[in-house]
């Protein structure tokens, strides 16, 4: 069934962006206070900590800003908070995708301040989730609030979709999106992350890699035994090592049969776009304490590999005794967690089937294979008019040309909105180069937060035109 059209009569209204800027400056302290309040509310999806409470707080903040709201739920999973404002002046609709869940704060001893304190120091707000993604959400909400307070209207219709499982792979999101297809219709969307680089240039991302997360388990005896029994008792740790050896070669080639079958080559305009990205590979290697990247790549070739190369990564490997000193034990089980980062047009379901088939063909049919979250790759073309519009809005506010990434090396459920709902998406935000996303001492510069709010206001205004 087709989604009903917006038949509201359009009322021509003038929106002076300067007045919205002034309001944002006047309310900057109050905006920071609201963000701190949200950061203080834990919302760790991996542990189920504070999720319901945070969803309620997000909905309350939306209502206080002038949005009508509703909670979207599926048969399982964390609630999605939806909010909207209908414009009296336009039929165009801009959707903001955000998430209120955060990564676990561990290791706690590495934090300068309590991770849920929202401590303000050195011109920054410290706390888990302040950049990823609570700061971006609040900056967008406050830009909308600014228009409503100053003019009582918005230049375009605005929708917010704020979920609570992004940090665990959004495993229950697809049924919710598909059940609310009409509700989530829009002309374009702004994704959850982004910011500026070390030189103050705004960074825009046009897509995400897909991801498939799996766990492999090998089992031996019913219990750990003395290692003197090694000539007789199968060792699941060795079994797992041999299985991993069948997945990837020393030259970084993934050995799963037909793994690269659907990999789409980068387009000429995408390759050309990479030349404008100031990839500081030497500084990155220095920061990480490594002498070279894999296969010796650098510069443009390193950037190509980062954005357009699929991967197979060991996330964690556990078996037997791992404490201090030695313990002559033969473990009874071994476990490894893996993720595969996928590029257009790879599908996680197909890659999982190929993985299972490959392990079976190689003689590892005894391994238990557990599938966790997965998302498809998604990408908006560089020459899409919405990309041009966002880049121009960013340049107006930051005074520098935007750096455009055709694809991000990260992953998320963008495909549900780009591939299924079908509108162009750009990821842009108010983060900074030293925000420590997913790491201890995550922070957000207050100046960047306020400027990011003005950027969103500018984007809303330009999108109407």
Please give the model's pTM, rounded to 2 decimal places.
Answer: 0.90
Q: Quick one: pLDDT at residue 14? A: 78
Q: Is residue 89 a contact partner of residue 154, using CB atoms and an 8 Å limit?
A: yes
Q: Give pLDDT tens digits for 260-271.
A: 999 998 889 998
pLDDT above 90: percentage of residues in the chain = 92
Least confident of 3-12, 205-214, 420-429: 3-12
Cα separation, 360 vs 459, in Å, equals 52
Cα separation, 46 vs 166, in Å, equals 10
- Which residues have C-beta within 8 Å of that of residue 349, sequence separation ≥ 6? 374
Secondary structure in 3-state letters for 214-250:
EEEEEECCCCCEEHHHCCCCCCHHHHHHHHHHCCECC
Cα separation, 47 vs 105, in Å, equals 11
H-state helical runs in 265-347: 268-274, 281-288, 299-308
Distance of CA 457 to the CA centre of its chain: 22
Beta bridge partners of 126: 443
- Which residues have C-beta within 8 Å of that of residue 434, sequence separation ≥ 6? 443
CA angle 254, 415, 278 (to 5 degrees): 70
Architecture of domain 214-375: 2-Layer Sandwich (3.30)
Instruction: Calculate mean pLDDT across residues 270-286.
Output: 90
- 437, pLDDT greater than 70: yes
Side-chain half-sphere CA neighbours of 242 within 13 A: 14
Q: Which two tokens stand for residue 258?
A: 């037909």
Q: Quick one: pLDDT at residue 203? A: 97
Domain ranges of the chain: 17-206+380-464, 214-375
- 324, pLDDT greater than 60: yes
Tokens 């789409």, residue located: 264
Q: Quick one: pLDDT at residue 156? A: 98
Q: Give pLDDT tens digits for 144-191.
A: 999 999 999 999 999 999 999 999 989 999 999 999 999 999 999 999
- 9, pLDDT greater than 90: no
Architecture of domain 17-206+380-464: 3-Layer(aba) Sandwich (3.40)
Q: Quick one: pLDDT at residue 15? A: 92
- In angstroms, how far is the first alpha carbon of the chain from the final one? 30
């Amino acid at each position: 069934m087709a989604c009903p059209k917006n038949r509201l009569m359009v009322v021509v209204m003038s929106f002076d962006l300067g007045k919205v800027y002034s309001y944002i400056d006047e309310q900057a302290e109050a905006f920071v206070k609201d963000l701190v309040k949200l950061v203080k509310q834990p919302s760790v999806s991996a542990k189920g900590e504070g999720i319901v409470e945070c969803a309620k707080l997000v909905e309350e903040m939306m209502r206080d800003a002038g949005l009508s709201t509703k909670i979207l739920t599926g048969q399982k999973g964390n609630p999605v908070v939806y909010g909207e404002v209908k414009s009296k002046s336009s039929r165009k609709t801009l959707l903001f995708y955000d998430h209120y869940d955060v990564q676990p704060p561990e290791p706690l001893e590495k934090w300068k301040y309590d991770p849920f304190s929202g401590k303000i120091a050195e011109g920054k707000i410290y706390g888990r989730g302040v950049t990823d993604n609570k700061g971006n959400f609040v900056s967008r909400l406050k830009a909308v609030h600014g228009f409503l307070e100053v003019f009582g209207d918005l230049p375009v219709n605005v929708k917010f979709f704020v979920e609570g499982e992004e940090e665990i792979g959004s495993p229950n999101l697809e049924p919710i999106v598909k059940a609310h297809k009409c509700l989530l219709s829009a002309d374009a969307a702004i994704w959850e992350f982004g910011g500026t680089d070390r030189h103050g240039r705004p960074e825009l991302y046009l897509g995400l890699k897909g991801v498939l997360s799996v766990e492999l388990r090998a089992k031996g005896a019913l219990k750990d035994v003395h290692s003197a029994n090694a000539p007789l008792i199968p060792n699941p740790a060795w079994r797992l090592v041999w299985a991993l050896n069948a997945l990837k070669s020393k030259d970084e080639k993934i050995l799963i049969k037909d793994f690269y079958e659907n990999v789409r080559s980068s387009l000429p305009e995408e390759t050309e776009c990479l030349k404008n990205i100031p990839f500081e590979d030497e500084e990155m290697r220095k920061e990480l304490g490594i002498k070279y990247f894999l296969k010796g790549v650098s510069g443009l070739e390193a950037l190509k590999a980062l954005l357009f190369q699929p991967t197979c990564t060991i996330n964690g490997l556990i078996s037997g005794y791992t404490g201090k000193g030695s313990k002559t034990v033969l473990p009874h089980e071994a476990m490894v967690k893996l993720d595969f980062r996928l590029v257009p047009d790879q599908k996680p379901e197909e890659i999982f089937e190929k993985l299972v088939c490959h392990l079976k063909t190689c003689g590892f049919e005894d391994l238990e294979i557990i599938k966790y979250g997965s998302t498809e790759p998604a990408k908006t073309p560089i020459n899409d008019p919405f990309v041009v519009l966002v880049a121009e809005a960013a340049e107006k506010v930051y005074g520098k040309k935007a750096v455009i990434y055709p694809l991000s090396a990260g992953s998320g459920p963008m495909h549900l909105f780009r591939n299924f709902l079908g509108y162009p998406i750009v990821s842009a935000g108010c983060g900074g180069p030293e925000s420590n996303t997913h790491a201890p001492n995550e922070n957000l510069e207050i100046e960047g937060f306020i400027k990011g709010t003005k950027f969103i206001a500018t984007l809303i205004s330009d999108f109407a035109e």
